[in-house]
């Protein structure tokens, strides 16, 4: 659903069903990846760990974390630092479009907290 929303907004979207698949996609990608949108809680590795690995491939890539948990709960568990870009699930097309644009327009090229 998020893929379709973003494609309708004009973005090119690559998807992966697991963190390992995301890293493999990054390794084989022949284009720049501007933004990683990742769930915070996943099996095998959390979103922050995935972002750190992807950052080695794409140093200028920005990161937007999403989760059904609140940002407060996640930061208390030590997964995300305060100030990292985050959106709660579920979200509307408007919410994700605003947040993606906001993250992409930030002057800081490095994902916050990495």
Element (H, E) at 63: strand 62-67
pLDDT cut 70: percent of the chain above it? 87
List, in order, residues 6 or more apart from 59 with CB less than 8 Å away.
109, 110
Rounded Cα distance, 42 and 50, in Å: 10
Cα(first)–Cα(last) distance of the chain, in Å? Answer: 28
Q: DSSP letter at 58?
A: -
Domains of the chain: 2-105 (3.40.50.2300)
Rounded Cα distance, 103 and 38, in Å: 13
pLDDT in tens, 21-75: 999 999 999 999 999 999 998 888 999 999 999 999 999 999 999 998 877 767 6
Report pTM: 0.85
């Amino acid at each position: 659903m998020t893929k379709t929303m973003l494609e309708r907004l004009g973005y090119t979207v690559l998807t992966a069903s697991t963190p390992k698949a995301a890293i493999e996609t990054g390794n084989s990608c022949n284009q720049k990846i501007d933004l990683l949108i990742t769930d915070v809680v996943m099996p095998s590795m959390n979103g922050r760990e995935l972002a750190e690995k992807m950052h080695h491939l794409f140093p200028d890539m920005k990161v937007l974390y999403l989760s059904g948990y609140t940002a407060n709960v996640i930061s208390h568990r030590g997964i995300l630092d305060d100030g990292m870009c985050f959106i709660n699930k579920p979200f509307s097309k408007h919410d994700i479009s605003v947040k993606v644009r906001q993250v992409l327009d930030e002057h800081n090229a490095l994902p916050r907290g990495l």
